[in-house]
Amino acid sequence: MNSKHRLLFAAIMLVATGGRAVSIETALFAAPQSGPQRAARAATVRPVRLREVRGRGLLADVWVNSVGPFLFAVDTGAGVTLVSPRLASAARLDVRSDRSRSIAGLSGRGTTAHDANVQSLAVGDRTNFVPGTRSVVVTAGLPNDIDGVLDPTEAFSPFGYIIDIPRLELSTFDSRAMPLRLEDQPREGAVVRWLRQGSSHRPFVELDNGDRALIDTGSSLGLGIRSNSESDRGRASYARDIGGGRVSTQRVRPMTVAIGALELKNIPTDVISGAEAGSPTLLGLSALRPFRLVFDPVNRLIEIAPSLRR
In tens, the pLDDT along 225-250 reads: 988 765 445 567 877 778 778 888 99
Mean pLDDT lowest among 181-190, 238-247, 252-261, 295-304: 238-247
Mean of the per-residue pLDDT values for the chain? 83
Q: Are 52 and 194 in contact (CB under 8 A)?
A: no
Instruction: Name the pTM for this structure.
Output: 0.84
Edge-to-edge, what's the strand order for the sheet holding 237-240? 204-206, 212-215, 281-283, 223-226, 262-273, 246-259, 237-240
Report the CATH fold assignment for 4-173. Cathepsin D, subunit A; domain 1 (2.40.70)
Which amino acid is residue 148, in one-letter code?
G
CB of 135 closer than 8 Å to CB of 148: no
Phi, psi of 303 (to 5 degrees): -105, 130
Mean pLDDT of all residues in 268-278: 90
Q: Which of 183, 199, 195, 173 is nearest to 280 (CA)?
A: 195
Spatial separation of the C-alpha atoms in residues 47 and 53, rounded to whole Å: 20
| CATH code, residues 190-306 | 2.40.70.10
What is residue 25's predicted lDDT score, i.e. its pLDDT? 23
Pairing of strands 169-173, 82-83: unpaired
DSSP class of 14: B
Boundaries of every domain in the chain: 4-173, 190-306
| Consecutive H or E run containing 206 | strand 204-206
Nearest CA to 161 out of 274, 169, 264, 308 is that of 169
Indicate the pairing of strand 94-104 with strand 4-6.
parallel
- Pairwise CA distance, residues 217 & 75, whole Å: 5
d(CA 215, CA 202): 8
Kindly indicate the confidence band of residue 137, based on its pLDDT and cuts at 50, 70 and 90: very high
Whole-Å CA distances, 283 to 37, 76, 150, 216: 23, 11, 18, 6
Q: Could you tell me the CA-to-CA distances from 273 to 77, 136, 204, 218, 225 in Å, in that order?
A: 19, 30, 21, 18, 9
pLDDT attached to residue 161? 97
CA distance 40 to 296: 12
